[in-house]
């Protein structure tokens, strides 16, 4: 597989960085929370491009990859100015999960969502993630505190076809 | 050099250097467990930073982690170190890591030390939330944090690898209102016990 380009029916993922450094990523609206800098920076980022008209849909990436535990964190930022159907977003996520589990041989992908985005839980569950809990009142937003939703996908539950084993 | 900042019961809490490595981390020896939480900015409000300044500490350069030594009050023996840093960069949330002097330490004493630090974090540091990640197999520590009033909020499946096997990682959290309620219940329980013994 050419890891510079991941092709799907609806979207194509183009590698943004080749040296493990996020560098200057295009700015889109964050869907997932990017955790603060940890002791294992770096990652793999792809621009999500609509296959037919070439429009940039967003960025998807894997960062904080830990070779010992074979885990990484998923980042997904989308262009909210354009309305895409769920199939486009799901295909982009499935492509990067396949890359993570087959090319990078990772064991687990972590994902954090802000509680305001809880309507996205079902979407990520359809992509192979499982809900694992909610950390209460972690982020301060004015007078309110928002929680963090923890989700995770395991290689053992993922199949190449994109379906999830029981 | 250490500055005593709080005494509760038989436990004394003092500042200490962040690079104090004399304690063995008994939750597990896997360095990957220590990752996460490091963010820019000091954990302490500016008004309190001078009070907690420790020689050799790099807090002045914007390091968020702050470490405290827990001492046994009568003997002065060091029980362990509590390290506290921001969660997700939010200044009102602290992520704890506890390192103990040895695995044979009395869990009752460690529980007292944790209670003392929680009280310190909510009343002196003014934090809104404390959290702690624990491996699923650390039964004694899990019991200790649950006794202290922490609630299990998340269970990351197979997030930890040790000795050829994957383990779940648990996230425990406590909010200031949780702690207020926990303290009220403990006081009510103490009053009832005293009334029964009278």
pTM greater than 0.90 (yes/no): no
Question: Do B154 and A36 count as a contact with CB atoms less than 8 A apart?
Answer: no
Given pLDDT bands bounded at 50, 70 and 90, which one contains residue A24? low
Encoded tokens for B64: 């968020």
Q: Which residues of chain B make contact with A65, given a CB cutoff of 8 A?
A: none
Using the CB atoms, write b or e for A77-116: b if 16+ within 10 Å: bbbeeeebeeebbbbbbbbbbbbbbeebebbbbbbbbbbe
Given pLDDT bands bounded at 50, 70 and 90, which one contains residue A150? very high
pLDDT of residue B17: 57
Closest-CA residue in chain A for B156? Answer: A132
What is the share, in percent, of chain A residues with pLDDT greater than 90?
A: 48
The pLDDT of residue B43 is above 50: no
Q: Which domains does chain A have, with CATH numbers?
A: 5-157 (3.40.630.30)
Q: What angle do CA B153, B157, B163 make, to 5 degrees?
A: 125
The pLDDT of residue B168 is above 90: yes
Closest CA to B88 of A31, A140, A143: A140
Q: Which residues of chain A make contact with B38, given a CB cutoff of 8 A?
A: 36-39
User: Which residue in A108, A132, A137 is closest to B175 by CB distance?
Assistant: A137
User: Which residue in A33, A110, A139 is closest to B156 by CB distance?
Assistant: A110
- Range from A80-89, B84-93, B164-173, B180-189 that averages highest in pLDDT: B164-173
B149 touches B176 (CB < 8 A): no
Distances (CA, A) of B181 to A158, B119, B150, B192: 43, 13, 12, 17
C-alpha–C-alpha distance, residues B198 and B183, integer Å: 22
Mean pLDDT of all residues in A75-90: 83
C-alpha–C-alpha distance, residues A77 and A149, integer Å: 17
Give the CATH fold of the B4-197 domain: Aminopeptidase (3.40.630)
Q: Which residues of chain B make contact with A37, given a CB cutoff of 8 A?
A: 38-40
Q: Which residues of chain B make contact with A151, given a CB cutoff of 8 A?
A: none
C-alpha–C-alpha distance, residues A109 and A121, integer Å: 15
Q: Which residues of chain B make contact with A137, given a CB cutoff of 8 A?
A: 93, 128-129, 175
Question: Do A140 and B92 count as a contact with CB atoms less than 8 A apart?
Answer: yes
Closest-CA residue in chain B for A34? Answer: B88
Encoded tokens for B111: 């529980």
ipTM: 0.86
Question: Do B173 and A35 count as a contact with CB atoms less than 8 A apart?
Answer: no
Neighbours of B160 (CB within 10 A): 25
Q: Across chain A, what does the average pLDDT equal?
A: 84
pLDDT of residue B13: 72
pLDDT of residue B27: 30
Question: Do A36 and B88 count as a contact with CB atoms less than 8 A apart?
Answer: yes
pLDDT digits (tens, 9 = 90+) for B176-188: 999 999 888 877 7
């Amino acid at each position: 597989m050419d890891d510079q380009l991941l092709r799907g029916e609806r979207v194509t993922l183009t590698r943004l960085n080749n040296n493990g450094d996020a560098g200057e990523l295009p700015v889109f609206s964050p869907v997932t929370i990017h955790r603060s800098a940890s002791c294992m920076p770096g990652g793999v980022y792809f621009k999500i491009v609509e296959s037919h008209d070439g429009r940039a849909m967003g960025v998807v990436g894997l960062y904080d990859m830990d070779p010992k535990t074979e885990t990484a964190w998923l980042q997904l930022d989308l262009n909210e100015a354009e309305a895409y159907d769920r199939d486009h977003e799901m295909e982009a996520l499935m492509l990067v999960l396949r890359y993570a589990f087959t090319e990078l041989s990772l064991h687990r992908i972590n994902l954090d969502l802000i509680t305001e985005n809880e309507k996205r839980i079902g979407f990520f569950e359809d992509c192979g993630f499982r809900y694992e809990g909610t950390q209460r009142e972690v982020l301060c937003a004015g007078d309110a505190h928002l929680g963090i939703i923890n989700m995770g996908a395991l290689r053992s539950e993922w199949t190449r076809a994109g379906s999830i084993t029981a | 050099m250490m500055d005593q900042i709080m005494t509760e019961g038989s436990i004394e809490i003092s500042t200490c250097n962040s690079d104090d490595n004399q304690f063995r981390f008994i939750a597990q020896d896997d360095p990957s467990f220590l990752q996460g939480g490091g963010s820019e900015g000091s954990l302490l409000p500016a008004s309190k930073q001078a009070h907690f300044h420790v020689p050799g500490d790099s807090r002045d350069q914007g390091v968020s982690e702050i470490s405290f030594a827990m001492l046994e009050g009568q003997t002065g023996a060091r029980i362990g170190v509590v390290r506290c840093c921001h969660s997700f960069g939010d200044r009102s949330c602290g992520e704890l890591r506890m390192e103990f002097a040895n695995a044979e330490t009395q869990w009752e004493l460690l529980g007292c030390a944790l209670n003392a630090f929680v009280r310190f974090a909510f009343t002196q540091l003014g934090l809104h939330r404390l959290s702690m990640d624990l491996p699923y197999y650390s039964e004694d520590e899990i019991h200790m944090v649950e006794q202290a009033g922490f609630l299990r909020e998340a269970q990351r499946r197979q997030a930890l690898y040790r000795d050829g096997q994957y383990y779940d990682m648990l996230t425990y959290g406590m909010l200031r209102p949780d702690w207020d309620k926990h303290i009220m219940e403990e006081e009510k329980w103490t009053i009832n016990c005293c009334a029964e013994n009278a």
